[in-house]
Structure 1
């Protein structure tokens, strides 16, 4: 009889294994992209940068030597609600790892139950008809242990670990994004503040020109046309001043929100115009080690690896599931017997085996779902990789553009200053009227305004390069490149 049972068991196991033939899906699964070629792009940009063995540090913002910027970023990293929500997700994922790891261990429970029962006098169980029973079960030890023959629990644990590591990488990416956003907003504030000061000087000079034209009109030296033009120019200057003032307020509001504070908090932000520009270098091993320094790419890769483990979990559902169950306790229909007689002792131990014979397509649907989830995770990784390469190329290109524009703008400002000096000299010698020096000064202000805007853009471009290079993140196990 025992041999027959073993044969029957072998047959069922073989039948179950036969149901778990997964076909040729592996050949149609999505695949991770290799590192896109960008050697020529980086080589073309190296002429504008010094080379270094180091990648950006995790506290890259300290290189700007701005105490106020450091305070803003530190406050944002401590109090920003979105960042704290991401940190909470990491704690959740770590708890899920602990919960999944517990599946590898046996569980021990205790159980006590009491019931009173009376059989009907008209019961089909004639021997018990009309009888009353009291039933007590005391099980101080109930053991359950899942025998992970097919690696389901191990794969589920690896998936949970991968998800947790992915969330940790996402937290690093959120930290980088938040710090970069705060830094760019602060430099935008500095540029807006400087443009506001210049706009105020432009308005003052336009008012002086209007008074000059009014004096000429009063003395009969001019018509109404110059005054109308002076008024139009003054109105335009006042609009520029209003716009610059609004930019200052908007950037303070943005910084307050990023720091998790109210808008009034932003009014205390210190504007430090004297900045120390840190030297911007490119790592000598770029693009070779780019993947190891991008938290978004690491997160996408870890999600894909976790999805691959979920496929393994889904595949094991096609095989028999074996659990070891044991208990010992006291079972009796008499309360006195439970405590006073050893005959109430009961125990059992043995395996519990479940065979997935017919599930209505549920197991196959779950497997296909996990396979599709893996494909989606891989394609998200591929998208992140392509985006990262584009982000680096765009940041380098933008830097070179601004570098060239700044050289030209500084020359324009130098020329405008020379014109202003010449206009002052001509006026002092009586060779021009009062309007000529004012117009020359206005041109200087316009060139300074454009220069302030370009300097602000260059600061943001510098931060974009640091962000594109990973902002100090390092993956201990990067994808193959």
Structure 2
């Protein structure tokens, strides 16, 4: 009776200790993410969104489409990201296995020699299966059996850990989509830059021809003593300067081609392209849809959302460490000191069944630190999610404004180029009739070249803006 009371007191003490352990969980404040975005970009309620179009529909240049298609197969960064997805998928399998029973088989053999003048040696000295025979020395030991262990997921710690792994896996999938979006945009921008360089090279070639013609005229004027050697030298210097510019552009073409080849995962080779595609009409309007659509279209926003969900589950997993954990272990098999006795039943049969209830009681600093860190990471994920949404909206707003402003700039620069090209003819005629100084001719040619270069660069910026608005809206990955 006294013994039963001791057991009851001991069991009561254990229960009180476990309950006390479970109640001493630090209270931490969770932060809720703010998902609100402005109702529109420019007071438009049009829900049509170019991000819904696939990249093949948006980029209709066949040469560009072929480059993008090759990059999606061979790009190293994308392939690295695909392996990260595989790693995350395996993490789910590992977490799923943790809340299932672990079962294994075990076989072993060995021997044990104890001193005769020990308590165990003295007790085993005259014991054997048959009377009158001593226990074998050293004593062999043979074992074969199956053993199992299982942690009962009382507080959903293991299930929440698996769910967190699933959300992290989904985040890596969205990360892959974000890589695809950026990869397509980078190839398209590099391709349009290559077209712009081709056009600039053609402009330089035309300008060299114009300047050489002007140089011939100046030389004739010098022979007629209408100008000095200074004018000839200035025109020659201008021709040489423009010719050197030609080689600078050729180097930029090589570097841009190799940048595209790198994105395509291949060694340098010529990039097929159609220079006339640079002059094709651009879309008259951009359908950006509504800001709320960014939450579904932008892969980086969805990635941040999945990471936020995983961080919240990690907090629950860390919190469950304060509570008692219940483990069950069992085993069944045969054990004997002689192989011929190994499968005798029930003499050599062994089996066991046990349960452990364990909870932290003293010195829980490590658990508290893990819990606080998990909560801090959850708050960090909230800010990251809100930051990603804000950044996405600002990117779209900037690109929409850029599209409009570049259109106005391109129209004005087109008129400037037309005026300066006309001024070249006028200055040459005036110079031929001795009514204009040769410096006016040089400056006019230089201004015309610069204005044509600026026009090409503005056109390139327009095409980049169309690519960037498509990326900012979340297009390309689908």
For the criterion TM > 0.5, the same-fold answer is yes
| Greater Rg over alpha carbons, structure | 2
Work out which of the residue numbers 351, 354, 378 in structure 1 matches 2:358.
354
Relative to 1, partners in 2 of residues 1:17 and 1:268: Cα closer, same or farther, differing over 3 Å? closer
- What is the match of residue 137 of structure 1? 143
**CA shift at 1:294, angstroms?**
1.1
Over the aligned positions, Cα root-mean-square deviation in angstroms equals 3.0
State the Cα deviation string for residues 142-178 of structure 1 (Å, max 9, x = none). Answer: 2222210101011101110110011111100000000
- What is the match of residue 478 of structure 1? none
Q: How does 1:96-111 map to 2 (within 5 A)?
A: 96-111=91-106
Given that 2:52 and 2:475 are in contact with CA atoms closer than 8 Å, whether structure 1 keeps it comes out as yes
| Distance of 1:392 and 1:226 partners within structure 2 | 52
Which segment is superposed worse, 360-369 or 119-128? 119-128
**CA shift at 1:202, angstroms?**
1.1
- What is the match of residue 398 of structure 1? 402
Whether 1:207 aligns to 2:212 is: yes
**CA shift at 1:102, angstroms?**
1.7
- What is the match of residue 333 of structure 2? 329
Work out which of the residue numbers 339, 343, 346 in structure 2 matches 1:339.
343
The count of aligned residue pairs is 460
- What is the match of residue 76 of structure 1? 71
- SS class of match (2:277): coil
Whether 1:189 aligns to 2:170 is: no
Relative to 1, partners in 2 of residues 1:137 and 1:281: Cα closer, same or farther, differing over 3 Å? farther
**CA shift at 1:6, angstroms?**
4.8
- What is the match of residue 477 of structure 1? none
Given that 2:215 and 2:232 are in contact with CA atoms closer than 8 Å, whether structure 1 keeps it comes out as yes
- SS class of match (1:201): helix
- What is the match of residue 146 of structure 1? 151
Structure 1: gaps (5+ residues): 475-481
TM-score, normalised with respect to structure 2: 0.87
Relative to 1, partners in 2 of residues 1:341 and 1:443: Cα closer, same or farther, differing over 3 Å? closer
Whether 1:462 aligns to 2:461 is: no
- What is the match of residue 216 of structure 1? 221
| Distance of 1:359 and 1:432 partners within structure 2 | 98
Whether 1:127 aligns to 2:123 is: yes
**CA shift at 1:255, angstroms?**
0.3
| Distance of 2:16 and 2:302 partners within structure 1 | 45
TM-score, normalised with respect to structure 1: 0.87
Work out which of the residue numbers 273, 276, 280 in structure 2 matches 1:270.
273
Given that 2:288 and 2:473 are in contact with CA atoms closer than 8 Å, whether structure 1 keeps it comes out as no
Given that 1:77 and 1:83 are in contact with CA atoms closer than 8 Å, whether structure 2 keeps it comes out as yes
Given that 1:321 and 1:355 are in contact with CA atoms closer than 8 Å, whether structure 2 keeps it comes out as yes
Given that 1:166 and 1:299 are in contact with CA atoms closer than 8 Å, whether structure 2 keeps it comes out as yes
- SS class of match (2:111): strand
Relative to 1, partners in 2 of residues 1:280 and 1:340: Cα closer, same or farther, differing over 3 Å? farther
Relative to 1, partners in 2 of residues 1:438 and 1:15: Cα closer, same or farther, differing over 3 Å? closer
| Distance of 2:229 and 2:90 partners within structure 1 | 79
| Distance of 1:185 and 1:313 partners within structure 2 | 46
Relative to 1, partners in 2 of residues 1:95 and 1:407: Cα closer, same or farther, differing over 3 Å? same
**CA shift at 1:419, angstroms?**
4.7
- SS class of match (1:343): coil
| Distance of 2:306 and 2:284 partners within structure 1 | 31
| Distance of 1:459 and 1:283 partners within structure 2 | 16
**CA shift at 1:430, angstroms?**
7.5
Structure 2: gaps (5+ residues): 126-134
